[in-house]
Amino acid sequence: MQWYSVILCILILGLIVTFHEFGHFIVAKANGIGVTEFMVGLGPVIFEKKHKGTRYTIRLILFGGACVMKGDDNGMYTEEEEAAGLEGNDEETTGAAFSEKSVWARIATIFAGPFFNFILAFILSIVVLGIAGIDKPYVRGIIEGLPAEAAGLQTDDLIVAVNGHSVKTARDISLIFGEIDMTQPVTLVVKRDGEKKTFEITPVLHTYEVENEETKETETVTKYMIGFSWNYARTKVGTLETVAYSLNEVWYWIKLTVKSLGMMFTGQVTVNDLSGPVGIAEVVNDTVEQSKQDGLLYIFLNLINLSVLLSADIGVMNLLPIPALDGGRLMFLFIEAVRGKPIDKKKEGYVHLAGIIFLLLLMIFVLFNDFRKILM
């Protein structure tokens, strides 16, 4: 792994986490909640500014960050910082304590973090699609002798739905075909010359030969097929269409993340497949190395595209109802909204503590797993 890949990984994750915390910050301020400190990075402070009781800091390691709200800063500071009074003074901080605000104000503030991850993914998608274009879901080719040809499917048909699932990008087709039963008839809806046409096509077993990318040997594959390929090439479009497709892009990555989580519960994916910062740095390294031959622009675009995936992924993961995560906090806040009163703070604290211990153990395992994969 190249040294610059580690730096790029830190910068990418730092941007994603900072934007997440900025979501908490901006909505907390909008709801009149005092923010004791907004920090970028972790570790020793290298820059500090105080304004209206809020301490804004940049720390040495640009990895992570935090939005510390009034009355909600326990455990965020070292004993030395607290002794020096660096943690910020609640009395100086303008705004109410987090616990004093309405349950819906607190829900909005906590939800804002993951939601801003989706906003960041959307902004970065506009950059990528604006420069590289979009992958419209066109039929690229028809295989002779297979059902798609007999049904009347044609090259350049724009696919708009598969088995009732809406299709916006070419990758949506891959995602849908990965979930449907290919032994049953498949319904395709396409646009041709501005008109919608519906085809019901029954897949058939087809045997063909492919080259194994690793061994370079020819292998025989038999599987159910309809008999058409779809477009993955990028096409530049106007501003409004780029924005619309950027929303689809974020939604695609959210669906893919949720699908991957579902695969964990069904045993199709195990915890051994999880990756942490080291694994992400390895992916960043591979992305840079594979893009080098195409030039700096493609390195930039592929890294931004990777950031879209990571930001959407972190947004989804933070919404999981796991104690200590935003989703876990939201779970307690929704219970409070239904009950009309909060759960005992000590009991909630114990649950979040258990969640922190679980996450720490998971992080240690994932870190070990990342190094194991690299050394294998």
- Identify which of 257, 30, 18 has the alpha carbon closest to the alpha carbon of residue 120: 18
pLDDT at 122: 96
Q: Does 205 score more than 60 pLDDT? A: yes
3-state helix, strand, coil in the chain (%, to 5): 50, 20, 25
Query: Global pTM?
Result: 0.81
C-beta separation of 243 from 126 below 8 A: yes
Distance CA(332)–CA(216), nearest Å, equals 54
pLDDT at 75: 41
Q: Does 91 score more than 60 pLDDT? A: no
Higher pLDDT, residue 144 or 278? 144
pLDDT at 118: 96
Higher pLDDT, residue 185 or 364? 185
Q: Which helix (DSSP H) or strand (DSSP E) does residue 108 occupy?
A: helix 103-132
Half-sphere exposure of residue 136: CA atoms within 13 angstroms, side-chain side: 14
C-beta separation of 59 from 46 below 8 A: yes
Segment 161-184 shows an average pLDDT of: 88
Domains plus CATH for the chain?
119-134+236-376 (no CATH), 139-230 (2.30.42.10)
pLDDT tens-digit readout, 271-290 = 666 677 777 888 888 888 88
Segment 35-64 shows an average pLDDT of: 88
Segment 13-23 shows an average pLDDT of: 93
C-beta separation of 224 from 203 below 8 A: yes
Higher pLDDT, residue 282 or 366? 282
Q: Which residue has the tokens 């090439």?
A: 233
Strand ranges for the chain from DSSP E: 35-51, 54-69, 139-142, 158-162, 165-166, 186-192, 195-201, 204-211, 218-225, 228-230
Segment 134-158 shows an average pLDDT of: 92
Q: Does 187 score more than 70 pLDDT? A: yes
Residues sharing a CB contact under 8 Å with residue 268, sequence separation 6 or more, in sequence order: none
Confidence of residue 82 (pLDDT cuts 50, 70, 90): very low
Higher pLDDT, residue 116 or 182? 116
- Please provide the average confidence, as pLDDT, over all residues in the chain: 85
pLDDT at 376: 64
Q: Does 110 score more than 80 pLDDT? A: yes
Taking CA atoms, 174 is separated from 17, 166, 178, 198, in Å, by 30, 12, 6, 19
pLDDT at 1: 67
Segment 295-317 shows an average pLDDT of: 92
pLDDT at 332: 92
pLDDT tens-digit readout, 206-240 = 888 887 777 777 888 888 999 999 988 888 888 99
pLDDT at 84: 44
pLDDT at 226: 92
Give the chain's count of helices (H) and strands (E): 10, 10
